[in-house]
Amino acid sequence: MADQPTRIYHNPRCSKSRQTLALLEEKGIEPQIIKYLETPPTADELAELVTTMGCSVRDIIRVKESEYKELGLDNPELDDRALLQALSDHPKLIERPVVTHNGKAAMGRPPENVLDIL
């Protein structure tokens, strides 16, 4: 991740995602925009993001989406691999936005969180 351009896993319909993108642009950063609903990250890419952010897989799941319960993702028996695959298969469940920069990653909720990695 260290040699990659700054990226934002972005949903243009999400206000927090739009605010985070605007914040990056205000800082003079033109990130690579990944519209993750159109181009979902793989389970391995998600695992790398989670590791880089230093959080758990469950920390990046949108638990209020109907698919969360419909898919049984609230089952504490599910391992990280199963959760990561579910997120890749159902990207709407990924909490957004996520920004990567110089080998670091942060959740843009609130958008100011990304300032810590710039």
Give the number of other Cβ atoms within 10 Å of residue 48's Cβ: 15
Give me the residue spans of the domains in the chain.
7-117
Q: Kindly report the pTM of this predicted structure.
A: 0.92
Task: Label residue 23 by pLDDT band (50, 70, 90).
Answer: very high
Are the beta carbons of 107 and 95 closer than 8 angstroms? yes
Question: Is a pLDDT exceeding 90 seen at residue 1?
Answer: no
The active-site residue out of 14, 37, 82, 117 is 14
Are the beta carbons of 42 and 88 closer than 8 angstroms? yes
Q: Which fold has domain 7-117?
A: Glutaredoxin (3.40.30)
For residue 107 the two structure tokens come to 């959740």
Residue 55 annotated as catalytic: no
pLDDT score of 73: 98
How would you classify the pairing of strands 7-10 and 104-107? unpaired
pLDDT tens digits along 65-113? 999 999 999 999 999 999 999 999 999 999 999 999 999 999 999 999 9
